[in-house]
Structure 1
Amino acid sequence: MSKRAEARGACLCGKVKIEALSMCPENVGACHCNMCRKWGGGPLLAVDCNMEVNFAGEHNISTYSSSEWAERGFCSLCGTHLFYKLKKNDQYIVPVGLFDEVQKLNFDHQIFIEEKPKYYTFANETTNMTGEEVFAQFSD
């Protein structure tokens, strides 16, 4: 594991350790898509770590190809969700709860807002994007 990591953390059982060398930008987002909510039982609160993620205990990581464009990783021992990874560029979106002592993050955006159920709402003012807007942004 690197000494220049911006954030470190681990799965619930501690067998998979993660370090993010960057969080670009240092903002937390919420994904309300049906897959994320089914995967975690609620919205995915995550940070974009680009491609700069290191794992220890990789032999304990299982992946699930959840779509043509992305896969989801989890600890095969405790089931902790470790990442959502875009296949095209190996970009890691990491659940923010994995990281220890991350204080400087700002919750600033929500995606797939049209799929958000009406039974919860966040108080923060955020930039909100529909799924169509998200796909349009990444199709370039």
Structure 2
Amino acid sequence: MLKGSCLCGNIQFETSAKPNGISMCHCGQCRKQSGGIWSSAYVPERDLTITGDVSWYAASPTAKRGFCAFCGSFLFWKAHDEDTISFSLGAIDGPTGLKLEKHIFVADKGDYYDITDGLPQSAQ
């Protein structure tokens, strides 16, 4: 079971499903919203239990981002046409037991760092 929460504890989430797509996103939206690289994994939406008051931002015509309106924690990413939901690995309470699989949107990464871990990279 993975459990997580926002900084203030207003929003909590948990899943017993096996997370997929363990990645670090370097896109401009994730960098602006998180202040850096956003690490996440996804599960089927039906397998993620969320309690608390999530605020959703329609970030693009294809997806929305969920965050806490009280502390500002960026917790979720949801494509409109998919039945999965991504959650922030940084919001997990305790060890995750997960290993990073890939980097995505590296064409948009900041120029102030290099990716040197040897993991697969996708331009978009």
TM-score, normalized by length of structure 2? 0.89
Tell me what 1:86 maps to.
79
- Aligned mate of 1:107, from 92, 100, 104: 100
What CA RMSD, in Å, does the superposition of the two structures yield over aligned residues? 1.5
Q: Unaligned regions of 5+ residues in structure 2, if any? A: none
* Preserved contact between residue 29 and residue 107 of structure 1 (Cα < 8 Å): yes
In 1, Cα distance between the equivalents of 2:78 and 2:18?
14
In 1, Cα distance between the equivalents of 2:71 and 2:111?
31
In 1, Cα distance between the equivalents of 2:38 and 2:50?
20
* Preserved contact between residue 71 and residue 84 of structure 1 (Cα < 8 Å): yes
Tell me what 2:91 maps to.
98
Q: Highest relative contact order (Cα 8 Å, sep 6+), 1 or 2?
A: 2
Identity of aligned residues (%): 30
User: Residue 94 of structure 1 aligns to which amino acid in structure 2?
Assistant: F
Tell me what 1:55 maps to.
50
User: Residue 11 of structure 2 aligns to which amino acid in structure 1?
Assistant: V
- Aligned mate of 2:63, from 50, 63, 70: 70
TM-score, normalized by length of structure 1? 0.80
* Preserved contact between residue 2 and residue 96 of structure 2 (Cα < 8 Å): no
How far 1:79 moved relative to its partner? 1.1
Q: Which runs of 4+ in 1 moved over 3 A?
A: none
Higher helix proportion (structure 1 or 2):
1
